[in-house]
Structure 1
Protein backbone atom coordinates (compact mmCIF):
# COMPACT_ATOMS: atom_id res chain seq x y z
CA UNK A 1 0.00 0.00 0.00
CA UNK A 2 1.11 3.57 -0.58
CA UNK A 3 2.09 5.78 2.36
CA UNK A 4 -1.16 7.74 1.85
CA UNK A 5 -3.35 4.65 2.15
CA UNK A 6 -5.94 4.87 4.94
CA UNK A 7 -4.85 3.52 8.31
CA UNK A 8 -8.50 2.93 9.24
CA UNK A 9 -10.66 0.20 7.75
CA UNK A 10 -14.41 -0.33 8.14
CA UNK A 11 -16.27 -3.55 7.43
CA UNK A 12 -19.97 -4.04 6.86
CA UNK A 13 -20.40 -0.79 4.90
CA UNK A 14 -23.04 -2.37 2.67
CA UNK A 15 -25.20 -3.01 5.76
CA UNK A 16 -27.21 -0.79 8.07
CA UNK A 17 -24.62 -0.17 10.79
CA UNK A 18 -21.36 -0.21 8.84
CA UNK A 19 -22.80 2.19 6.26
CA UNK A 20 -23.78 4.63 8.99
CA UNK A 21 -20.27 4.52 10.43
CA UNK A 22 -18.61 4.95 7.01
CA UNK A 23 -20.86 7.90 6.16
CA UNK A 24 -20.11 9.65 9.45
CA UNK A 25 -16.37 9.16 9.07
CA UNK A 26 -16.48 10.46 5.49
CA UNK A 27 -18.46 13.52 6.59
CA UNK A 28 -15.72 14.23 9.14
CA UNK A 29 -13.06 13.97 6.44
CA UNK A 30 -11.51 10.78 7.83
CA UNK A 31 -9.77 8.61 5.19
CA UNK A 32 -10.92 5.01 5.35
CA UNK A 33 -10.86 1.71 3.52
CA UNK A 34 -14.12 -0.17 3.16
CA UNK A 35 -13.69 -3.94 3.28
CA UNK A 36 -16.82 -5.46 1.76
CA UNK A 37 -18.05 -8.68 0.16
CA UNK A 38 -19.68 -6.84 -2.77
CA UNK A 39 -17.93 -3.63 -3.86
CA UNK A 40 -20.85 -2.79 -6.18
CA UNK A 41 -23.02 -2.23 -3.10
CA UNK A 42 -20.49 -0.07 -1.24
CA UNK A 43 -21.44 3.58 -0.67
CA UNK A 44 -19.65 6.13 -2.84
CA UNK A 45 -17.98 8.44 -0.35
CA UNK A 46 -15.09 10.94 -0.48
CA UNK A 47 -11.73 9.80 0.83
CA UNK A 48 -12.66 6.13 0.61
CA UNK A 49 -10.97 3.05 -0.83
CA UNK A 50 -13.09 -0.04 -1.46
CA UNK A 51 -11.60 -3.54 -1.41
CA UNK A 52 -13.26 -6.93 -1.60
CA UNK A 53 -12.80 -9.61 1.05
CA UNK A 54 -14.92 -12.03 3.03
CA UNK A 55 -14.35 -12.88 6.68
CA UNK A 56 -13.91 -16.56 5.90
CA UNK A 57 -11.24 -15.92 3.23
CA UNK A 58 -8.13 -15.37 5.34
CA UNK A 59 -5.72 -14.60 2.52
CA UNK A 60 -8.02 -12.07 0.83
CA UNK A 61 -8.70 -10.48 4.21
CA UNK A 62 -4.98 -10.20 4.99
CA UNK A 63 -4.37 -8.43 1.67
CA UNK A 64 -7.35 -6.14 2.21
CA UNK A 65 -6.05 -5.11 5.64
CA UNK A 66 -2.46 -4.44 4.59
CA UNK A 67 -1.40 -1.09 6.05
CA UNK A 68 -4.45 -0.80 8.31
CA UNK A 69 -3.81 0.08 11.95
CA UNK A 70 -7.35 0.49 13.28
CA UNK A 71 -10.16 -1.83 12.17
CA UNK A 72 -13.90 -1.55 12.74
CA UNK A 73 -15.31 -5.06 12.54
CA UNK A 74 -19.07 -5.38 12.26
CA UNK A 75 -20.16 -8.87 13.26
CA UNK A 76 -20.79 -11.10 10.27
CA UNK A 77 -24.03 -12.41 8.84
CA UNK A 78 -26.02 -14.69 11.12
CA UNK A 79 -25.18 -18.18 9.89
CA UNK A 80 -23.82 -21.42 11.37
CA UNK A 81 -20.21 -20.71 10.33
CA UNK A 82 -20.07 -17.20 11.72
CA UNK A 83 -17.71 -17.84 14.64
CA UNK A 84 -15.14 -19.61 12.48
CA UNK A 85 -15.34 -16.82 9.90
CA UNK A 86 -14.82 -14.25 12.66
CA UNK A 87 -11.76 -16.13 13.92
CA UNK A 88 -10.31 -16.32 10.42
CA UNK A 89 -10.77 -12.59 9.92
CA UNK A 90 -9.26 -11.71 13.29
CA UNK A 91 -6.25 -13.89 12.52
CA UNK A 92 -5.92 -12.13 9.14
CA UNK A 93 -5.98 -8.77 10.93
CA UNK A 94 -3.13 -9.90 13.18
CA UNK A 95 -1.13 -11.15 10.18
CA UNK A 96 -1.69 -7.87 8.34
CA UNK A 97 -0.32 -5.81 11.23
CA UNK A 98 -3.56 -4.31 12.54
CA UNK A 99 -2.97 -3.01 16.06
CA UNK A 100 -6.46 -2.05 17.29
CA UNK A 101 -9.76 -3.77 16.48
CA UNK A 102 -13.18 -2.37 17.40
CA UNK A 103 -15.81 -5.12 17.39
CA UNK A 104 -19.60 -4.92 17.50
CA UNK A 105 -20.63 -7.56 20.01
CA UNK A 106 -23.91 -8.06 21.83
CA UNK A 107 -25.26 -7.08 25.23
CA UNK A 108 -24.85 -9.93 27.70
CA UNK A 109 -22.62 -12.04 25.45
CA UNK A 110 -21.82 -15.24 27.33
CA UNK A 111 -21.26 -18.93 26.63
CA UNK A 112 -24.63 -19.76 28.20
CA UNK A 113 -26.61 -16.72 27.00
CA UNK A 114 -30.29 -17.41 26.43
CA UNK A 115 -30.15 -15.57 23.10
CA UNK A 116 -28.33 -18.14 21.02
CA UNK A 117 -26.48 -15.67 18.80
CA UNK A 118 -25.00 -13.88 21.83
CA UNK A 119 -22.93 -17.05 22.34
CA UNK A 120 -21.26 -16.40 18.96
CA UNK A 121 -20.25 -12.96 20.16
CA UNK A 122 -18.78 -14.37 23.37
CA UNK A 123 -16.70 -16.85 21.35
CA UNK A 124 -15.46 -14.01 19.14
CA UNK A 125 -14.58 -11.88 22.16
CA UNK A 126 -12.60 -14.80 23.59
CA UNK A 127 -10.64 -15.14 20.34
CA UNK A 128 -9.96 -11.42 20.30
CA UNK A 129 -8.70 -11.56 23.88
CA UNK A 130 -6.20 -14.26 22.89
CA UNK A 131 -5.11 -12.51 19.68
CA UNK A 132 -2.77 -9.92 21.19
CA UNK A 133 -4.67 -7.09 19.50
CA UNK A 134 -5.72 -3.99 21.39
CA UNK A 135 -9.50 -4.09 21.31
CA UNK A 136 -12.63 -2.10 22.00
CA UNK A 137 -15.83 -4.11 22.39
CA UNK A 138 -19.17 -2.44 21.68
CA UNK A 139 -21.87 -4.63 23.18
CA UNK A 140 -25.02 -3.41 21.44
CA UNK A 141 -28.43 -4.09 22.92
CA UNK A 142 -31.33 -5.03 20.66
CA UNK A 143 -31.97 -2.46 17.91
CA UNK A 144 -34.87 -0.06 18.49
CA UNK A 145 -35.03 0.17 14.70
CA UNK A 146 -36.31 -3.41 14.52
CA UNK A 147 -39.33 -2.99 16.83
CA UNK A 148 -41.75 -1.83 14.10
CA UNK A 149 -40.56 -4.72 11.91
CA UNK A 150 -41.36 -7.22 14.65
CA UNK A 151 -45.06 -6.35 14.47
CA UNK A 152 -47.11 -8.70 12.33
CA UNK A 153 -49.46 -7.62 9.56
CA UNK A 154 -52.27 -8.13 12.08
CA UNK A 155 -50.83 -5.47 14.38
CA UNK A 156 -49.62 -7.99 16.95
CA UNK A 157 -46.13 -8.04 18.46
CA UNK A 158 -45.88 -11.64 19.59
CA UNK A 159 -43.29 -13.65 21.44
CA UNK A 160 -42.54 -15.38 24.77
CA UNK A 161 -41.02 -12.32 26.47
CA UNK A 162 -43.38 -12.15 29.45
CA UNK A 163 -42.92 -8.94 31.40
CA UNK A 164 -39.17 -8.81 30.79
CA UNK A 165 -37.54 -5.55 29.80
CA UNK A 166 -35.20 -4.64 26.95
CA UNK A 167 -32.94 -1.56 26.90
CA UNK A 168 -32.94 -1.29 23.11
CA UNK A 169 -30.77 1.26 21.31
CA UNK A 170 -30.90 2.88 17.87
CA UNK A 171 -28.44 2.04 15.14
CA UNK A 172 -27.70 5.76 14.78
CA UNK A 173 -26.59 5.95 18.42
CA UNK A 174 -24.40 2.87 17.98
CA UNK A 175 -22.82 4.44 14.89
CA UNK A 176 -22.17 7.68 16.76
CA UNK A 177 -20.52 5.72 19.59
CA UNK A 178 -18.40 3.74 17.13
CA UNK A 179 -17.20 6.89 15.36
CA UNK A 180 -16.27 8.45 18.70
CA UNK A 181 -14.12 5.41 19.48
CA UNK A 182 -12.58 5.26 15.99
CA UNK A 183 -11.74 8.96 16.08
CA UNK A 184 -9.57 8.50 19.19
CA UNK A 185 -8.98 4.76 19.52
CA UNK A 186 -6.06 5.13 21.90
CA UNK A 187 -8.50 6.45 24.55
CA UNK A 188 -10.55 3.27 24.38
CA UNK A 189 -7.93 0.53 24.33
CA UNK A 190 -9.13 -2.74 25.86
CA UNK A 191 -12.43 -1.15 26.91
CA UNK A 192 -15.89 -2.66 26.69
CA UNK A 193 -19.05 -0.59 26.41
CA UNK A 194 -22.63 -1.80 26.89
CA UNK A 195 -24.66 0.39 24.52
CA UNK A 196 -28.32 0.85 25.46
CA UNK A 197 -31.17 3.24 24.94
CA UNK A 198 -32.50 5.55 27.68
CA UNK A 199 -35.09 3.13 29.10
CA UNK A 200 -35.74 -0.58 29.53
CA UNK A 201 -39.22 -1.34 28.19
CA UNK A 202 -41.52 -4.33 28.28
CA UNK A 203 -42.92 -5.37 24.92
CA UNK A 204 -46.35 -4.22 26.12
CA UNK A 205 -44.83 -0.76 26.56
CA UNK A 206 -43.19 -1.03 23.14
CA UNK A 207 -46.56 -1.87 21.55
CA UNK A 208 -48.27 0.99 23.40
CA UNK A 209 -45.59 3.45 22.29
CA UNK A 210 -45.89 2.41 18.65
CA UNK A 211 -49.66 2.87 18.89
CA UNK A 212 -49.36 6.28 20.53
CA UNK A 213 -46.74 7.72 18.20
CA UNK A 214 -47.74 6.22 14.86
CA UNK A 215 -51.48 5.83 15.25
CA UNK A 216 -51.24 2.18 14.21
CA UNK A 217 -53.04 -0.04 16.70
CA UNK A 218 -50.43 -2.49 18.01
CA UNK A 219 -50.84 -4.99 20.84
CA UNK A 220 -48.47 -7.44 22.48
CA UNK A 221 -49.23 -11.14 22.81
CA UNK A 222 -47.15 -13.17 25.24
CA UNK A 223 -46.77 -16.52 23.49
CA UNK A 224 -45.84 -19.86 24.99
CA UNK A 225 -42.74 -21.55 23.59
CA UNK A 226 -44.87 -23.93 21.55
CA UNK A 227 -46.90 -21.03 20.15
CA UNK A 228 -43.71 -19.12 19.31
CA UNK A 229 -42.23 -21.98 17.32
CA UNK A 230 -45.54 -22.68 15.62
CA UNK A 231 -46.14 -19.06 14.57
CA UNK A 232 -42.67 -18.90 13.01
CA UNK A 233 -42.75 -22.28 11.29
CA UNK A 234 -44.49 -20.79 8.25
CA UNK A 235 -41.32 -18.90 7.26
CA UNK A 236 -39.51 -22.11 6.36
CA UNK A 237 -36.31 -20.97 8.11
CA UNK A 238 -33.70 -23.48 9.33
CA UNK A 239 -33.99 -24.67 12.92
CA UNK A 240 -30.99 -22.67 14.17
CA UNK A 241 -32.53 -19.45 12.87
CA UNK A 242 -35.92 -20.13 14.42
CA UNK A 243 -34.13 -20.88 17.70
CA UNK A 244 -32.41 -17.50 17.41
CA UNK A 245 -35.69 -15.70 16.75
CA UNK A 246 -37.49 -17.32 19.65
CA UNK A 247 -34.56 -16.93 22.04
CA UNK A 248 -34.61 -13.18 21.44
CA UNK A 249 -37.87 -13.14 23.36
CA UNK A 250 -36.95 -15.70 26.00
CA UNK A 251 -33.79 -13.68 26.73
CA UNK A 252 -36.00 -10.65 27.33
CA UNK A 253 -38.14 -12.74 29.67
CA UNK A 254 -34.99 -13.85 31.50
CA UNK A 255 -33.93 -10.24 32.06
CA UNK A 256 -30.78 -10.57 29.95
CA UNK A 257 -31.48 -7.45 27.85
CA UNK A 258 -32.40 -5.31 30.88
CA UNK A 259 -30.18 -2.62 32.38
CA UNK A 260 -29.69 0.93 31.11
CA UNK A 261 -26.15 2.30 30.87
CA UNK A 262 -24.70 5.77 30.32
CA UNK A 263 -22.23 4.59 27.66
CA UNK A 264 -23.91 6.22 24.64
CA UNK A 265 -24.03 9.62 26.33
CA UNK A 266 -20.48 9.31 27.64
CA UNK A 267 -19.05 8.37 24.24
CA UNK A 268 -21.11 10.64 22.00
CA UNK A 269 -21.90 13.66 24.16
CA UNK A 270 -25.63 13.31 23.52
CA UNK A 271 -28.31 11.23 25.24
CA UNK A 272 -29.49 8.03 23.59
CA UNK A 273 -32.62 8.19 21.46
CA UNK A 274 -35.87 6.87 22.90
CA UNK A 275 -38.28 4.63 21.03
CA UNK A 276 -40.84 7.45 20.89
CA UNK A 277 -38.31 9.90 19.46
CA UNK A 278 -37.12 7.34 16.90
CA UNK A 279 -40.68 6.64 15.74
CA UNK A 280 -41.49 10.35 15.60
CA UNK A 281 -38.46 10.94 13.37
CA UNK A 282 -39.54 8.11 11.07
CA UNK A 283 -43.04 9.59 10.79
CA UNK A 284 -41.58 13.00 9.97
CA UNK A 285 -39.59 11.64 7.01
Structure 2
Protein backbone atom coordinates (compact mmCIF):
# COMPACT_ATOMS: atom_id res chain seq x y z
CA UNK A 1 0.00 0.00 0.00
CA UNK A 2 1.14 3.50 -0.83
CA UNK A 3 -0.06 6.13 1.63
CA UNK A 4 -1.02 9.43 0.00
CA UNK A 5 -1.57 12.46 2.20
CA UNK A 6 -4.01 15.06 0.86
CA UNK A 7 -4.05 18.54 2.35
CA UNK A 8 -6.99 20.88 1.94
CA UNK A 9 -9.30 17.89 1.65
CA UNK A 10 -12.24 19.95 2.90
CA UNK A 11 -11.69 22.52 0.15
CA UNK A 12 -12.70 22.59 -3.51
CA UNK A 13 -9.44 21.30 -4.98
CA UNK A 14 -8.34 18.86 -2.28
CA UNK A 15 -11.88 17.56 -1.97
CA UNK A 16 -12.03 16.81 -5.68
CA UNK A 17 -8.70 15.02 -5.61
CA UNK A 18 -9.93 12.97 -2.65
CA UNK A 19 -13.06 11.97 -4.58
CA UNK A 20 -10.99 10.94 -7.59
CA UNK A 21 -8.65 8.73 -5.57
CA UNK A 22 -10.91 7.35 -2.84
CA UNK A 23 -11.71 3.71 -3.57
CA UNK A 24 -10.31 3.98 -7.10
CA UNK A 25 -7.19 1.91 -6.54
CA UNK A 26 -6.64 -0.76 -3.91
CA UNK A 27 -2.92 0.06 -3.89
CA UNK A 28 -3.61 3.51 -2.48
CA UNK A 29 -4.23 4.34 1.16
CA UNK A 30 -5.45 7.92 1.65
CA UNK A 31 -4.84 10.14 4.63
CA UNK A 32 -6.71 13.43 4.76
CA UNK A 33 -4.93 16.32 6.47
CA UNK A 34 -7.39 19.00 7.55
CA UNK A 35 -7.77 21.81 10.04
CA UNK A 36 -11.14 20.51 11.26
CA UNK A 37 -11.95 16.80 11.03
CA UNK A 38 -15.66 17.57 11.17
CA UNK A 39 -15.39 19.22 7.73
CA UNK A 40 -13.47 16.38 6.05
CA UNK A 41 -15.08 14.57 3.09
CA UNK A 42 -17.31 11.66 4.04
CA UNK A 43 -15.08 8.87 2.78
CA UNK A 44 -13.81 5.79 4.57
CA UNK A 45 -10.23 6.84 5.19
CA UNK A 46 -7.81 8.13 7.80
CA UNK A 47 -8.30 11.78 8.84
CA UNK A 48 -5.73 13.79 10.79
CA UNK A 49 -5.93 17.37 12.05
CA UNK A 50 -3.02 19.76 11.58
CA UNK A 51 -2.14 23.19 10.28
CA UNK A 52 0.82 24.19 8.13
CA UNK A 53 2.22 26.44 10.81
CA UNK A 54 2.17 23.84 13.62
CA UNK A 55 5.32 21.78 13.09
CA UNK A 56 4.60 19.17 15.77
CA UNK A 57 1.01 18.52 14.68
CA UNK A 58 2.07 18.35 11.04
CA UNK A 59 4.91 15.97 11.86
CA UNK A 60 2.55 13.62 13.70
CA UNK A 61 -0.03 13.75 10.91
CA UNK A 62 2.56 13.12 8.18
CA UNK A 63 4.39 10.13 9.65
CA UNK A 64 3.82 7.17 7.36
CA UNK A 65 2.82 9.30 4.35
CA UNK A 66 4.89 8.50 1.27
CA UNK A 67 3.37 10.88 -1.28
CA UNK A 68 1.89 14.24 -0.30
CA UNK A 69 -0.49 16.52 -2.16
CA UNK A 70 0.25 19.98 -0.78
CA UNK A 71 -2.37 22.58 -1.63
CA UNK A 72 -1.12 26.12 -1.03
CA UNK A 73 -2.68 27.50 2.12
CA UNK A 74 -4.71 30.66 2.64
CA UNK A 75 -3.18 33.87 1.33
CA UNK A 76 -1.64 36.05 3.99
CA UNK A 77 1.56 37.51 5.38
CA UNK A 78 2.35 34.27 7.25
CA UNK A 79 2.00 31.94 4.26
CA UNK A 80 5.73 31.70 3.47
CA UNK A 81 6.56 30.79 7.07
CA UNK A 82 3.71 28.28 7.25
CA UNK A 83 4.72 26.62 4.00
CA UNK A 84 8.37 26.36 5.05
CA UNK A 85 7.30 24.88 8.39
CA UNK A 86 5.10 22.29 6.71
CA UNK A 87 7.75 21.34 4.14
CA UNK A 88 10.28 20.86 6.95
CA UNK A 89 7.81 18.68 8.86
CA UNK A 90 7.14 16.57 5.75
CA UNK A 91 10.83 15.98 5.20
CA UNK A 92 11.34 15.06 8.85
CA UNK A 93 8.35 12.71 8.73
CA UNK A 94 9.90 10.78 5.84
CA UNK A 95 7.63 11.90 3.01
CA UNK A 96 9.25 10.85 -0.27
CA UNK A 97 7.43 12.94 -2.87
CA UNK A 98 5.43 16.19 -2.70
CA UNK A 99 3.01 17.39 -5.38
CA UNK A 100 2.60 21.13 -4.79
CA UNK A 101 0.03 23.51 -6.30
CA UNK A 102 2.12 26.47 -7.34
CA UNK A 103 1.38 29.31 -9.76
CA UNK A 104 2.42 30.04 -13.35
CA UNK A 105 5.46 32.26 -13.46
CA UNK A 106 6.29 31.71 -9.78
CA UNK A 107 9.38 33.87 -9.24
CA UNK A 108 10.77 36.48 -6.84
CA UNK A 109 9.94 39.18 -9.40
CA UNK A 110 6.55 37.86 -10.57
CA UNK A 111 4.07 40.61 -11.41
CA UNK A 112 1.36 38.79 -9.47
CA UNK A 113 2.59 39.38 -5.94
CA UNK A 114 1.39 36.04 -4.57
CA UNK A 115 3.64 34.36 -7.12
CA UNK A 116 6.52 35.36 -4.83
CA UNK A 117 5.13 33.09 -2.08
CA UNK A 118 4.95 30.16 -4.47
CA UNK A 119 8.54 30.68 -5.55
CA UNK A 120 9.65 30.56 -1.90
CA UNK A 121 7.77 27.29 -1.40
CA UNK A 122 9.23 25.77 -4.56
CA UNK A 123 12.70 26.66 -3.32
CA UNK A 124 11.96 25.10 0.08
CA UNK A 125 10.88 21.89 -1.62
CA UNK A 126 13.96 21.83 -3.85
CA UNK A 127 16.16 22.23 -0.77
CA UNK A 128 14.25 19.65 1.30
CA UNK A 129 15.73 16.51 -0.22
CA UNK A 130 12.24 15.24 -1.12
CA UNK A 131 11.27 14.44 -4.66
CA UNK A 132 8.66 16.89 -5.96
CA UNK A 133 6.31 17.89 -8.76
CA UNK A 134 4.96 21.40 -9.24
CA UNK A 135 1.52 22.01 -10.71
CA UNK A 136 1.82 25.68 -11.67
CA UNK A 137 -1.80 26.75 -11.98
CA UNK A 138 -3.04 29.75 -13.89
CA UNK A 139 -6.06 31.54 -12.42
CA UNK A 140 -9.13 29.31 -12.20
CA UNK A 141 -11.83 29.65 -14.85
CA UNK A 142 -14.33 28.74 -12.13
CA UNK A 143 -13.75 31.94 -10.17
CA UNK A 144 -13.58 34.50 -12.99
CA UNK A 145 -17.30 35.40 -12.73
CA UNK A 146 -16.67 36.23 -9.05
CA UNK A 147 -14.33 39.01 -10.17
CA UNK A 148 -17.45 40.91 -11.27
CA UNK A 149 -19.36 43.25 -8.97
CA UNK A 150 -23.09 43.11 -8.30
CA UNK A 151 -23.71 44.75 -11.66
CA UNK A 152 -21.70 42.15 -13.55
CA UNK A 153 -18.74 44.47 -14.16
CA UNK A 154 -15.13 43.29 -13.99
CA UNK A 155 -12.93 46.28 -13.17
CA UNK A 156 -9.15 46.41 -13.20
CA UNK A 157 -5.98 47.45 -15.01
CA UNK A 158 -5.80 44.40 -17.31
CA UNK A 159 -5.87 46.34 -20.57
CA UNK A 160 -5.99 44.04 -23.60
CA UNK A 161 -3.84 41.43 -21.91
CA UNK A 162 -4.79 37.79 -22.26
CA UNK A 163 -5.48 35.13 -19.65
CA UNK A 164 -5.09 31.36 -20.16
CA UNK A 165 -7.14 30.43 -17.08
CA UNK A 166 -7.59 26.75 -16.21
CA UNK A 167 -10.44 24.64 -14.89
CA UNK A 168 -10.05 23.63 -11.26
CA UNK A 169 -11.36 20.18 -12.21
CA UNK A 170 -8.53 19.77 -14.74
CA UNK A 171 -5.97 20.59 -12.07
CA UNK A 172 -7.57 18.04 -9.74
CA UNK A 173 -7.54 15.33 -12.41
CA UNK A 174 -3.92 16.13 -13.28
CA UNK A 175 -3.00 15.94 -9.59
CA UNK A 176 -4.64 12.51 -9.34
CA UNK A 177 -2.64 11.29 -12.33
CA UNK A 178 0.63 12.44 -10.77
CA UNK A 179 -0.22 11.11 -7.31
CA UNK A 180 -0.89 7.62 -8.65
CA UNK A 181 2.59 7.38 -10.21
CA UNK A 182 4.73 10.16 -8.72
CA UNK A 183 8.00 8.63 -9.84
CA UNK A 184 7.05 9.27 -13.46
CA UNK A 185 6.78 13.00 -12.70
CA UNK A 186 9.72 13.57 -10.34
CA UNK A 187 11.25 17.01 -10.85
CA UNK A 188 8.59 18.11 -13.31
CA UNK A 189 6.96 21.55 -13.29
CA UNK A 190 3.70 21.51 -15.24
CA UNK A 191 2.11 24.74 -16.44
CA UNK A 192 -1.61 24.27 -15.91
CA UNK A 193 -3.60 26.41 -18.35
CA UNK A 194 -6.79 26.32 -20.32
CA UNK A 195 -7.01 25.82 -24.10
CA UNK A 196 -7.15 29.50 -25.01
CA UNK A 197 -6.04 32.92 -23.82
CA UNK A 198 -8.86 35.45 -23.49
CA UNK A 199 -9.02 39.18 -22.91
CA UNK A 200 -11.40 40.16 -20.13
CA UNK A 201 -13.94 41.55 -22.58
CA UNK A 202 -14.22 38.03 -23.99
CA UNK A 203 -14.38 36.50 -20.52
CA UNK A 204 -17.25 38.82 -19.56
CA UNK A 205 -19.22 38.27 -22.78
CA UNK A 206 -18.84 34.51 -22.82
CA UNK A 207 -19.39 34.00 -19.09
CA UNK A 208 -22.45 36.23 -19.20
CA UNK A 209 -23.91 34.21 -22.06
CA UNK A 210 -23.59 30.96 -20.10
CA UNK A 211 -24.79 32.41 -16.80
CA UNK A 212 -27.66 34.37 -18.35
CA UNK A 213 -26.59 37.75 -17.01
CA UNK A 214 -25.14 40.92 -18.45
CA UNK A 215 -21.40 41.11 -17.84
CA UNK A 216 -18.74 43.53 -19.03
CA UNK A 217 -15.15 44.63 -18.45
CA UNK A 218 -14.22 48.19 -17.50
CA UNK A 219 -10.58 49.28 -17.67
CA UNK A 220 -9.10 51.00 -14.61
CA UNK A 221 -5.76 52.69 -14.15
CA UNK A 222 -3.52 51.27 -11.45
CA UNK A 223 -4.08 54.12 -8.99
CA UNK A 224 -7.78 54.04 -9.75
CA UNK A 225 -7.82 50.30 -9.02
CA UNK A 226 -6.14 50.80 -5.65
CA UNK A 227 -8.55 53.62 -4.80
CA UNK A 228 -11.66 51.62 -5.72
CA UNK A 229 -10.54 48.66 -3.63
CA UNK A 230 -9.61 50.80 -0.65
CA UNK A 231 -13.08 52.34 -0.85
CA UNK A 232 -14.79 48.96 -1.12
CA UNK A 233 -12.69 47.19 1.52
CA UNK A 234 -11.42 49.87 3.92
CA UNK A 235 -10.03 47.27 6.34
CA UNK A 236 -7.98 45.42 3.72
CA UNK A 237 -4.26 45.20 4.39
CA UNK A 238 -1.71 46.42 1.85
CA UNK A 239 -0.69 42.89 0.82
CA UNK A 240 -4.32 42.17 -0.06
CA UNK A 241 -4.63 45.31 -2.14
CA UNK A 242 -1.37 44.49 -3.92
CA UNK A 243 -2.56 40.96 -4.66
CA UNK A 244 -5.92 42.10 -6.01
CA UNK A 245 -4.47 44.78 -8.26
CA UNK A 246 -1.53 42.68 -9.46
CA UNK A 247 -3.97 40.01 -10.62
CA UNK A 248 -4.93 42.45 -13.36
CA UNK A 249 -1.48 43.89 -14.04
CA UNK A 250 -0.21 40.32 -14.53
CA UNK A 251 -2.87 39.89 -17.19
CA UNK A 252 -1.91 43.22 -18.75
CA UNK A 253 1.79 42.41 -19.10
CA UNK A 254 1.25 38.93 -20.54
CA UNK A 255 2.39 36.97 -17.49
CA UNK A 256 -0.75 34.79 -17.62
CA UNK A 257 -1.19 34.53 -21.39
CA UNK A 258 0.93 31.53 -22.39
CA UNK A 259 -1.04 28.41 -23.34
CA UNK A 260 0.63 25.20 -22.20
CA UNK A 261 0.09 21.67 -23.57
CA UNK A 262 0.70 20.13 -20.13
CA UNK A 263 -2.95 19.54 -19.16
CA UNK A 264 -3.57 17.63 -22.38
CA UNK A 265 -0.32 15.68 -21.95
CA UNK A 266 -1.35 14.58 -18.47
CA UNK A 267 -5.02 13.90 -19.15
CA UNK A 268 -4.96 12.73 -22.75
CA UNK A 269 -7.64 15.23 -23.74
CA UNK A 270 -7.92 18.99 -24.26
CA UNK A 271 -8.47 21.14 -21.17
CA UNK A 272 -11.97 22.40 -20.44
CA UNK A 273 -13.17 25.70 -21.89
CA UNK A 274 -14.77 28.56 -19.96
CA UNK A 275 -18.20 27.50 -21.21
CA UNK A 276 -17.71 23.90 -20.14
CA UNK A 277 -16.61 24.93 -16.67
CA UNK A 278 -19.50 27.33 -16.07
CA UNK A 279 -22.09 24.95 -17.51
CA UNK A 280 -21.01 22.30 -14.97
CA UNK A 281 -21.46 24.59 -11.96
| TM-score bucket of the superposed structures, by smaller chain | over 0.9
Offset at residue 272 of structure 1 (A): 0.5
- Specify the alignment match of 1:38 in structure 2: 36
Spell out the pairing of 1:8-87 with structure 2 (5 A cutoff).
8-29=4-25, 30-46=28-44, 48-87=45-84
Three-state SS of the structure 1 residue aligned to 2:218 is: strand
Structure 1 residue 230 corresponds to structure 2 residue 232: no
- Specify the alignment match of 1:254 in structure 2: 253
TM norm structure 1: 0.95
Task: Measure the CA separation in 2 of the matches of 1:20 and 1:27.
Answer: 13
| CA displacement 1:12-69 (0-9 Å, x = unmatched) | 11111111111111151442000111111111113x1100111111111111011111
Task: Measure the CA separation in 2 of the matches of 1:150 and 1:27.
Answer: 36
Offset at residue 118 of structure 1 (A): 0.4
Alignment partner for residue 89 of structure 2, among 88, 92, 100?
92
- Work out the number of aligned pairs and report it: 277
Offset at residue 273 of structure 1 (A): 0.5
- Specify the alignment match of 1:263 in structure 2: 262
- Specify the alignment match of 1:276 in structure 2: 275
Which piece of structure 1 moves more, 23-32 or 138-147?
23-32
Q: Which runs of 5+ in 1 are unaligned?
A: none
TM norm structure 2: 0.96
Offset at residue 239 of structure 1 (A): 1.4
Alignment partner for residue 160 of structure 2, among 155, 159, 163?
163
Three-state SS of the structure 2 residue aligned to 1:249 is: helix
